[in-house]
Structure formats: C-alpha cells, structure tokens
Amino acid sequence: MLDANLKAQLQTYLQNLKSTVELAVFLDEGLKSKELNALAIEIAAMSPLINLVELDGSSERAPSMLVRSVQNNTEIRFAGVPMGHEFTSLIMALLHSGGHPIKLDKEIIEQVRSLEGEFQFETYISLSCQNCPDVVQALNMMAAINPQITNVMIDGSVFSEEVYSRDVLSVPAVYLNGEAFSQGRISISDILKKVDVNAEKNQATMIDNKEAFDLLVIGGGPAGAASAIYSARKGIKTGVVADQFGGQVQDTMAIENFISVQATEGPKLVASLEAHVKDYDVDIMNGQRVKKIIESEVEGGLITLELENGARLQTRSAVIATGAKWREMNIPGEQEYRGKGVAYCPHCDGPLFKGKSVAVIGGGNSGIEAAIDLAGIVDHVTVLEFDSKLRADAILQNKANSMGNIEIILNAQTKEVTGNGNHVTGLNYLCREKNTDKSIELAGIFVQIGLVPNTQFLKGDISLTERGEIITDSRGETNMAGVFAAGDVTDIPYKQIIIAMGSGATAALSAFDYLIRTPISNKKDLAA
C-alpha cells in the first residue's frame, strides 16, 4: 500500500507514540476497502503501541477507519482512504491519539477541553484539496483533546451519493450534529468562535490588554511573513494580526517560479513561512480581522487598529499586507450558488464534478491551467473568455488545444448563473461578436478572472487606486504617517510570491527607519 518513502516517514513519526492507539476498519467488498485494510495492517505492524481491533461497524460508513486513544477515550474517523493531502492528517491523528503533544497554545487547548456538550463533526473533502487538511487536522486535534468531540473525514469521491444528497459541491464542507456548519478553510479559532459563545469576547479582552507594539503587520501571507521576520530581527516588538496565515498561497497548487525551489505547493510554503516567523519573538494573533486603522493625532504617536471583535491594538508603525482574494463575476446567481456549483478552486472542488460538464471563466494562465487540470477529471470543460483572444501563455494554450474535451469560447460575456435552487444547472452568456444570448447546461462553474485587493476596511483612510490597490512609494510608504504596505494589496505592477516577499522586507525596513527617525510622542501610552 505505502511506497518505501512513505513507509519510512510514517515509521519515524510513530516512534513518538507514548500510549496505546486502537485501529478499527469497517469494510465492504469494494476496491477502496481492500486498500484501507492493507493500509491499516501496514500501520499496525509499525508500532507495538498500535492495535488492530474488531468493532461493531453496523452504524459506520464503509470503507472507514477509526483511530481511538485508549488512554483518553477519544475517537477520530476517516471515511475513505486518507492518502494524498490527507496522509498527514492520518499521521497527526495517530500521534495525537497516542499521546504526542499537540502544538496549540495552552489557552486554546484548555478552551477546547472545557467545551460542554456533544460535537459530532463531519468534514467532506477531496484528496486533491490542499486546504482540506488544515480543516481536518484542526477538528481532529479538537477531537483528540475532548472526548465529547468527534470528527470524521469523508472523501467525497468515495461517498458520492452522500455528497449528492447533501448538495456538497465545494470542499472542505463541515457539518456539526447533522447540520451545515462551515464551508471553506476555517481555523480552530474560528471554529471556537462559532461553538463557544464566550470565545470572541475572551479573545477581545486578551487583545485589549496587550501593550503597544513597535510594528504591527496586518496579514499573514508571504509579504506579511517577510515583514514580521525582518522587523523581529531588528529587535523591536513585533506582532502579526491575520485572518489566517497563507492567504491566496494556500490555494496555489503548483509553485515552480520561486527561485531556488524548483517546485513546491502552496500549503507547504505557507507552513514554512509560519514556522520561520515563529522562530522569532513575534506575537501572532490569528483569526483576527482589522476593521479600521486610526491615524495618530500627533507626530510619532500611536496608531490604533480597531478589530472586528471590538478589540483595539496600538502600535508605533504598521505594515498592511492583506493580499487579495478571488475576483467575483458579480452577476445574478453567483452568490446564490456559491458552494453549490460556483467554485474558485479547481484543485479543491474538481473531483466533486467527476464525469460532469463544467465551465471555466477566464482565459488567463490561471483559467487555462484550471481547464487543463479539470479536463482529466470531468467529462467536458468550456472556457469562456471575454476578450477576442486568450491571455494565457502559449505553452498552456497548446496543451489545452491538444486535449479532446476542452472547448474555448472567445468574446463571451457571462451574464447569469442558473440553477434549480439546490445547485447549478447552467449559465447564460452574451456572444459579443454577434450580440446574441446563449446558454450552456453544466454542473459547475470555476471562476478564474484574477484577484481583487483586500482593502475594503481602508477606504477613506488610506489612498487607493481606482482598482482598490494601496498607493505606495518606492519604500512601501502610504499617505498615513507610520503606515506602510506590501504585496498584492499594493499598486506594484506584478503580483508574484517572490515579489511580495521582497516588498514585505522593504516595508519592514522602511518602518524601522521611520521608528528610529521619529521621536516617541507619548512614552506613557507605550507603557500602558
């Protein structure tokens, strides 16, 4: 089942087990059951602390695996074969069930442990989804801490009937006690906000009590990580306020233009970025969104960040590195069917449309790459491009044209997403060349029309371009004293990971230069 490299990797990790773990498999006559059974046998043979047991599987999905901690009586389940991106989720479930320390803040662990009531989570995933493991692992860690919490990873391609009955057309999709809970990437902090009524209030109180910073970075993507590292290396008090580390890089599958690294994947790069930041004395405040930046009334005074939870942070300088999000079509039906056929990540959601017809909106590099990836999964792909020609690189166009199930329509203006109330059934578009309305029957629509900067909270305070990008000078400085910006959120002409990192370093160094040249206006405030 496992190749030599994976087997060696797993065997090394399992040496960290401290207590007994029980494995139980629930099987049917299918090929996936045979694969799962072989995997369980291999795992059990690697450690004397892992025992294969037989349990009543009458109420269990098949094929599925139960990972149980004998010491803590906690349970974690995998419905399907947890390989691909979910292999790491399996390793961590085994380690955490076997007593290996969970790498979470003590406050978070205690908060999870103290939750009252039963929480039965179900997490629908695809094995090609790079965001899904983050959600699976977050819920699995909660299940390993509190016996009243369970989580089951469900491979949507294996349990397609279940996916269809619940209209799951975007992953990760999480259910709690049988009801829809969340869709898309979600952190432990955000999960706790939803299940613990006092969580947000307690977080706000803790943040309010923090002393003023020398530099606060808003955003945890490549630009934000670079800013935090360069700032911390200067020995000044540095903090990061981020919704979640990674930003759009989390949704990037193949990265082949990051100099010195021939090839990597977004989640791997994000993990490395976060680990690098944590090597320094940086106060990371995840799961937080800034609502407003308030300029100091005096030169050299404190800038105030007002968060969405009501908390306030003060700092002598700030770097805005909030990145960008997927641009939406802004047409009727898009929001109604978001997650019900309208998707933005072909790697994540593509397997849910196996054997069906889908459309890709956009003929740039990302659009044609999406079409090529989807063509290997779905029955037919229609690419709709507004312009009279594709903007993708020639090598990508040639690849798409060589595939027999990709159709490219130029001069197409998408007008409306149609559906039956539960999921997408088609779309309407205008043929700009002939000025005629046309329609296509399909099951999914993947939007790939570029990015829009995350600057909504800055309007009226920070100078922006017509496209909503922050206007900066060569040093990353904005129109607000002590506030700098970096990465895709700014008006730099090229949106690339390596360029974002460089601009993040520039912004942090510029902020440090600002600090040493600007006298502290109110020492009392800094000590408060």
Q: Domain count of the chain?
A: 3
Q: Which pLDDT value is given to residue 522?
A: 57
Q: Which pLDDT value is given to residue 105?
A: 86
Give the closest residue to 2 by CA, choosing from 33, 53, 46, 68. 46
Distance CA 82, CA 88 (A): 9
In this structure, are 86 and 212 located in the same domain?
no
Per-residue pLDDT of 101-115, as tens digits, reads 999 988 899 999 999
- Whether the CB-CB separation of 399 and 372 falls below 8 Å is answered with yes
212 pLDDT exceeds 60?
A: yes
**Domain membership of residue 18 as a residue range:** 4-196
In this structure, are 146 and 209 located in the same domain?
no
Q: Which of 447, 466, 493 is the last residue of a domain?
A: 447
| CA 99-104-106 angle, 5° bins | 95
Per-residue pLDDT of 119-140, as tens digits, reads 999 999 999 888 899 999 999 9
* Token reading at 355: 């054997």
CATH number of the domain encompassing residue 407: 3.50.50.60
Helix spans in 351-476 (H): 365-375, 394-402
- Whether the CB-CB separation of 413 and 422 falls below 8 Å is answered with no
In this structure, are 155 and 28 located in the same domain?
yes
pLDDT (mean) for 399-412: 97
465 pLDDT exceeds 80?
A: yes
Q: Which of 380, 415, 447 is the last residue of a domain?
A: 447
3-state helix, strand, coil in the chain (%, to 5): 35, 25, 40
Backbone angle region of 260, left / alpha / beta, with phi > 0 → left and psi within -120 to 50 → alpha: left
Q: Is residue 175 part of a domain?
A: yes
Q: Is residue 330 part of a domain?
A: no
In this structure, are 191 and 210 located in the same domain?
no
Range from 95-104, 292-301, 342-351, 417-426 carrying the lowest mean pLDDT: 342-351
